[in-house]
Amino acid sequence: MLNQAQSRQVNRMDMSCDISYKFLDSANSYDGECLNISGAGILFMGKHLMESGMAIELTVATKNDLTTPLRAYVEVIRSKQVGPEQYEVATEIKGIREY
């Protein structure tokens, strides 16, 4: 479902699917959940509080055959705790890489 707030310049699509994220200075990967995606950014749930400006690599694994998986380099815009060891992380897409 497309969702557009008045202050947004890009439509976003609610998308519940698995995501993995990796800090660029580490080989470790962590599981999360994609909440929504747009042409400008990705909102996801993860297990780490992240500082604004931090660069991470995301891999979005879609649940259907029509949408290909996505690997993106993103910059953290904001991060907030929403539960025990649960953080909502808003990011801006800086680059997309072939999966």
Architecture of the domain delimited by 10-97: Beta Barrel (2.40)
Q: What is the structure's pLDDT at 62?
A: 74
Q: What is the structure's pLDDT at 7?
A: 46
Q: Is the pLDDT of residue 9 over 60?
A: no
Q: What is the structure's pLDDT at 4?
A: 42
Q: Is the pLDDT of residue 55 over 80?
A: yes
What would the mean pLDDT of 63-73 be, rounded to a whole number?
80
What would the mean pLDDT of 52-66 be, rounded to a whole number?
87
Cα–Cα distance measured from residue 78 to residue 19, given in angstroms and rounded to the nearest whole number: 18
CA distances in angstroms from 83 to 6, 7, 35, 55, listed in the order given: 28, 27, 15, 23
